[in-house]
Structure 1
Amino acid sequence: MDLLGKLFSRALKLSTLPTKKKRDAFSQQRKVLKKLLKKSANTQFGLRFNFYEILVQFSSGNKKVFYDFYKRRVPVYTYNTLYNEWWYRLKEGEADVTWPGKVQYFALSSGTSDASTKYIPITEQFLKANKKIGIRQLLSLAHYKLPKDLLGKGILMLGGSTHLHKTETYYEGDLSGIQASKIPFWFQYFYKPGSRIARNRDWESKLNDIVESAPDWDIGFIVGVPAWLQILLERIIARYQLKTIHDIWPNLTVFVHGGVAFDPYRKGFEKLLAKPIIYIETYLASEGFIAYQAGPGRKGMKLILDNGIFFEFVPFNEQNINASGDIVVNPKTLMIHEVEEGVDYVLLVSTCAGTWRYMIGDVIRFVDKAQAEIIITGRTKHFISLCGEHLSVDNMNQAIKLVAEELNIIIKEFTVSGIAHDTLFAHQWYIGTDHVIDPVVVSDLLDEKLKLLNDDYRVERTSALKEIFVTILPSQSFYDWMRYRGKEGGQNKFPRVLNKKLHEDWKAFLNQ
């Protein structure tokens, strides 16, 4: 093991030593919000909503009254409302708007719900917070039984281009590109594909460069979105006529993934391996490093409660989220100590990037409240309830996984849209697989699994939800559409639910 590997090993050992007991979840979040408000009290946003008055409440005998004031003073924001009222000034170079100073970086994010590009402000404090959690997650590897010789092996991070576009007042690009400029010097030794390849903005060219460089690397860890990493590994195996990826990277042991649920990809992914590997889920969004899987056998990912993000939780129901997936005015919001296990919540975040009570669009569920562990169950706009079936992305992922297992096929991608059918409704599914399969067989089995997973769906299948249509497509169709829309690679994901406009675009693309 080289010197850096030994230092890494030493750091892992130190991370397992007993530490001072942390505050409870409520106290951690109370402290975070107080620091955020104090830091931003003299910004235009802080003065507008009187952060000083909210800060006074932290000295009250009632330790929870500060949150009542915060909720009453500061409205809930979506991207459009926050950008149109405040963030557009940041792009013009104005200082002290929603966070002290000027914003030098913007992460470009278009998500999966619409085609418009979002500009998410990235501050130095935000980058430091992300780096801190990245190191914390790295040190959490001490909880896994890793081979000693794994330490010091290469870490392949398959993300967007690290090239940043410079404007008159700021830099813009993928979050991975912004963070790459802040990578610690010692990490450069482990980091693959290296700065030259990582800067490449042409996804196809980048994949080809990685494939050609693959024999020169000793990779122990891979990091990225499952679909794109699977494509990369398949190309490497084909290029060098291998049986599995372990023939070229025998030390590959850990896969850190995020962005989408991994279960639908697992069967196809594991066919590329010669031996089991460790899977670690992470939740890193443009709005912050939200959670990560803190150890083996955990039920979910641990929310990061002490590092620059204040969380609020909106019960995901008709009273708070309308049929279009938009949040209502003055929704019911809860703090961390008020949540319950097994209930779906929409996340609001206030962060050290000048983000305040911002709905990021994700829906989560607590699986272990004591450990603040969550799973992602979907997005507010990625569910279908045409007639009360309340079908979530989590239901869809589980059903697809069960169908693939029962039919012994690999389903790489899928999407669904709610459509009108005669005078009632239907679901139109598109399933990406390279196996030859009867769509009627898939439709019947998919319908059966969804009825078992979702009682509301089962009831509506006897009334207003009349048909389930399935179209079988080559997997490549999904990736071609992503390329067509300029969303190939990086952190881009195919939308699991197509709204009316996206569905029309998708059909038009297929008809070409």
Structure 2
Amino acid sequence: MGIKSWFAKPLAAFAVRQINKWKNNPIAAQERTFERLIRQASGTAFGKDHNFASIKTYDDFKKRVPIADYEDLKTYIDRVVRGESDVMWPGKPIYLAKTSGTTSGVKYIPISKESMPEHLNGARNALFSYIHETGKSEFIDGKIIFLQGSPVLERKNGINFGRLSGIVANHVPAYLQRNRLPSYKTNCIEDWEEKVDAIVDETLSEDMRLISGIPPWVQMYFDRLRARTEGRKIGEIFKNFSLFVYGGVNFEPYRARLEESIGRRVDSIETYPASEGFIAFQDSQQEKGLLLLVDSGIFYEFIPSDEYYNENPGRISLEDVELDKNYAIILNTNAGLWGYSIGDTVKFVSKNPYRILVSGRIKHFISAFGEHVICEEVEHAILSVAGQEGVEITEFTVAPQVSPEDGSLPYHEW
């Protein structure tokens, strides 16, 4: 055991003690977060427009702040992009994370000096929780790779612009810098195909122990590694590879192929990061679901997904959620997003502590006949059939066939 992995264990124990303080008192943590957010933003343009100074309760807040998507907040965000201060949160954001939207083109999500540490703490605490529960810390002594976007940022109007993964790349802690791959030069390559080849060049002979990234990026990396090594399994190429950290998309459609590529069992940690905030992480290898981060500068709201498109949908705080029910997740953040729907749906698998599963996207459903089949159900169906038939599904589409040519009843065409 190296010195880093030895020191990691007491640090992990300390981190878990801090986590347990809010994990065991989640509603109080959310109430504190709510009060702090309202107080700090009361002097902003958004706070004045929505009379934050008069908000005393969550009911007051719901009356003054409507549910919003990016288009609804775009007038305010455009002012932030132009460099105006005190628009949605005090001062200017230190970053604007660029994301791709289907309706709004490029979106700019603010990250403030208060919210940036929460992005980092979420990732760090996911690893510390794993170390504390399992006692496994040796991965810190080897090489670690984070498959991510370019860390090169653009600066305009006193604000840095970039992709979230590239922004985070500029904040990797010093104690991991010597272990971290790829090199800064390789990480700055914009063309993804070229970048993956360069990453393979740099890592093929290294002692890789932790690999992290969104599943499709990791699968491409694995495919290139295997192509270079005459089809050897990743677990053979990297004999000490022991931990896979992933997030960003539903893992299940990628699981079978990734596990086949690795060729042996490795532990994994699922995370739920978003440009809007670090929402949850897997805190246990034994328990189902991701621990909702209730003390990370985000006040959460939830709308039952089957009510989302109603004129006046139900809107509740964490205290009133139910188990195994799909909700659209709504964020109010210490970067200045208010009543913001990120488009994801979640369901709670535990309330002590609050653990969630990401079940899909609020706009991803089929309801041509009133059936309202959601993404989670579609993926479960296709994966169940694939498992029964012993086949691997890489891509699929499903859509309603409303008027079959043979005059038969309507159906879903896969």
TM tier relative to shorter chain: over 0.9
Q: What do the CA deviations read for 1:438-492 (whole angstroms, capped 9, x no partner)?
A: xxxxxxxxxxxxxxxxxxxxxxxx95xx24434xxxxxxxxxxxxxxxxxxxxxx
Partner of 1:440: none
Distance 2:124 2:40 in 1: 24
Distance 1:371 1:418 in 2: 39
Aligned-pair CA distance for 1:361: 0.5
Secondary structure of the corresponding residue to residue 210 of structure 2: strand
TM-score, normalised by the number of residues in structure 2? 0.93
User: Are the counterparts in 1 of residues 243 and 266 from structure 2 also a CA contact under 8 Å?
Assistant: yes
Letter paired with 1:6: W
Q: What do the CA deviations read for 1:266-313 (whole angstroms, capped 9, x no partner)?
A: 221111123201122111011110011111122111110011000000
Q: What do the CA deviations read for 1:206-246 (whole angstroms, capped 9, x no partner)?
A: 10101111223211111111122112111101112242012
Call closer, same or farther: CA 1:385–1:170 in 2, change over 3 Å. Answer: same
Call closer, same or farther: CA 1:424–1:222 in 2, change over 3 Å. Answer: farther
Q: 2:176 aligns with which of 184, 187, 200?
A: 187
Aligned-pair CA distance for 1:421: 3.0
Partner of 1:83: 74
1:355 aligns with 2:346: no
Partner of 2:2: 2
Distance 2:401 2:148 in 1: 34
Distance 1:44 1:415 in 2: 44
Partner of 1:403: 385
Distance 1:352 1:200 in 2: 32
Structure 1: runs of 5+ lacking an equivalent:
58-65, 323-327, 426-461, 471-512
Distance 1:20 1:375 in 2: 20
Distance 2:92 2:15 in 1: 36
Number of residue pairs the alignment of both structures matches = 413
Call closer, same or farther: CA 1:191–1:421 in 2, change over 3 Å. Answer: farther
Distance 1:149 1:346 in 2: 38
Q: What do the CA deviations read for 1:91-124 (whole angstroms, capped 9, x no partner)?
A: 111000010111232111115x457211111111
Partner of 2:51: 50
User: Are the counterparts in 2 of residues 15 and 142 from structure 1 also a CA contact under 8 Å?
Assistant: no
Distance 2:58 2:19 in 1: 30
1:40 aligns with 2:37: no
Secondary structure of the corresponding residue to residue 413 of structure 1: coil
TM-score, normalised by the number of residues in structure 1? 0.76
Aligned-pair CA distance for 1:16: 5.6
Call closer, same or farther: CA 1:214–1:387 in 2, change over 3 Å. Answer: same
Partner of 2:64: 73
1:298 aligns with 2:287: yes
Letter paired with 2:2: D
Q: Percent identity?
A: 34
Secondary structure of the corresponding residue to residue 204 of structure 2: helix
Partner of 2:308: 320
Distance 1:150 1:185 in 2: 16
Q: 1:383 aligns with which of 354, 358, 365?
A: 365
1:271 aligns with 2:260: yes
Aligned-pair CA distance for 1:173: 1.5
Aligned-pair CA distance for 1:17: 6.0
Distance 2:336 2:137 in 1: 42
Call closer, same or farther: CA 1:19–1:274 in 2, change over 3 Å. Answer: closer
User: Are the counterparts in 2 of residues 40 and 98 from structure 1 also a CA contact under 8 Å?
Assistant: yes
Call closer, same or farther: CA 1:281–1:198 in 2, change over 3 Å. Answer: same
Letter paired with 1:45: F
Secondary structure of the corresponding residue to residue 42 of structure 1: coil
Q: After the TM superposition, which of the residue ranges 386-395 and 140-149 deviates more from structure 2?
A: 140-149
Partner of 2:185: 196
Partner of 1:207: 196
Q: What do the CA deviations read for 1:235-269 (whole angstroms, capped 9, x no partner)?
A: 10111224201222111111111122222222211
Distance 2:137 2:29 in 1: 35
User: Are the counterparts in 1 of residues 9 and 135 from structure 2 also a CA contact under 8 Å?
Assistant: no
Call closer, same or farther: CA 1:35–1:168 in 2, change over 3 Å. Answer: closer
Call closer, same or farther: CA 1:148–1:333 in 2, change over 3 Å. Answer: closer
Q: 2:148 aligns with which of 133, 146, 159?
A: 159
Secondary structure of the corresponding residue to residue 395 of structure 2: strand
1:109 aligns with 2:110: no
Letter paired with 2:309: I
1:287 aligns with 2:280: no
Structure 2: runs of 5+ lacking an equivalent:
none
Q: What do the CA deviations read for 1:107-156 (whole angstroms, capped 9, x no partner)?
A: 11115x45721111111111112122222112101244354533322221
Call closer, same or farther: CA 1:160–1:415 in 2, change over 3 Å. Answer: farther
- Asked which structure has the greater CA Rg, the reply is 1
The one of the two structures with greater contact order (alpha-carbon pairs below 8 A, sep at least 6) is 2
Letter paired with 1:29: Q
Partner of 1:241: 230
User: Are the counterparts in 2 of residues 163 and 200 from structure 1 also a CA contact under 8 Å?
Assistant: no
Q: 1:259 aligns with which of 236, 248, 258?
A: 248
User: Are the counterparts in 1 of residues 126 and 281 from structure 2 also a CA contact under 8 Å?
Assistant: yes
Q: After the TM superposition, which of the residue ranges 304-313 and 221-230 deviates more from structure 2?
A: 221-230
Secondary structure of the corresponding residue to residue 168 of structure 2: helix
Distance 1:175 1:396 in 2: 29
Letter paired with 1:140: S
Letter paired with 1:10: P
